[in-house]
Homo-oligomer: A and B are copies of this chain.
Amino acid sequence: FFSICHLMPLTLYYYAIEGGRVGCIRAALLHAGVEFEDKMLNFQEYSQMKAAGTAPAGMPCLEIDGKQMTQSLAISRFVGKKSDLYPKDDVQALVVDEVMDIVQDVLTKCPQDPDAEVKKKKREEYAAGKMKDFFDQISKRMTEVPGPFLLGAKPSIADMQVFYLLDMLRMGFFDHVEPTYPDAWQPLVAHEKAMAESEVIKKYREYFASKKP
């Protein structure tokens, strides 16, 4: 990867936030020890780029040697391969990919509604229904091999996606879903603690604290 990165300048574009859809990507880039330009935009800067027609087609965006690539999971997998956070074994990779797609489902299937009351009702139904099923699935996978991580002793990009999903919940990102929602799954709470204490997350948090505008 070092050779690629000396040949290919890397620029990451996203809002100046730690977690959400960018956390896994920035943390993996740091874990790889690779140099990259970290364009942390605020909403005003992004609006200006949009107006000027210079905004990426989607964010997060990883620009590789001038080519702008979008989609947080695709980018996470790319940087995961380069930072030893994505397994070479195909069945293990399937487990990682499945969990990442379930996390994505939790986010994309979360209902919206312009009517505040309807939104509240839909969100509560989601938290008690489909979202609970997704959490059951993730939690079950976390217990299939000895932990603390999905595949065992080493974290993967799937662990990072799960970690930042829980982080979003803890921060109240999901209106009408309690920040304590994950506490019903003991394996996920144990996982959250192990991730917070992992080198990859600690290193990223130090970096983010130092870079935050």
Binding site for B on A (CB under 8 A): 57-58, 64, 69-71, 73-75, 77-78, 81-82, 90-91, 93-95, 97-98, 100-102, 104-105, 108-109, 133, 136-137
Contacts and interface: CB of A to CB of B under 8 A. Distances in A.
A74 B108 CA distance: 16
Contact of A137 (B70, B78, B100): B70
Contacts of A58: 137
Nearest to A76: B97
A11 to B, nearest CB: 15
Nearest to A64: B91
B71 A93 contact: no
19 contacts: A57-B137, A64-B91, A64-B94, A69-B94, A69-B95, A69-B98, A71-B97, A71-B98, A71-B101, A71-B102, A71-B105, A74-B101, A77-B94, A78-B91, A78-B94, A78-B97, A81-B90, A105-B108, A108-B109
A74 to B, nearest CB: 4
A138 to B, nearest CB: 11
* 9 interchain residue pairs of minimum CB distance: A74-B97, A71-B101, A74-B98, A78-B94, A71-B98, A108-B108, A81-B90, A74-B101, A57-B137
A190 B53 CA distance: 28
A138 B26 CA distance: 25
Contacts of A91: 64, 78
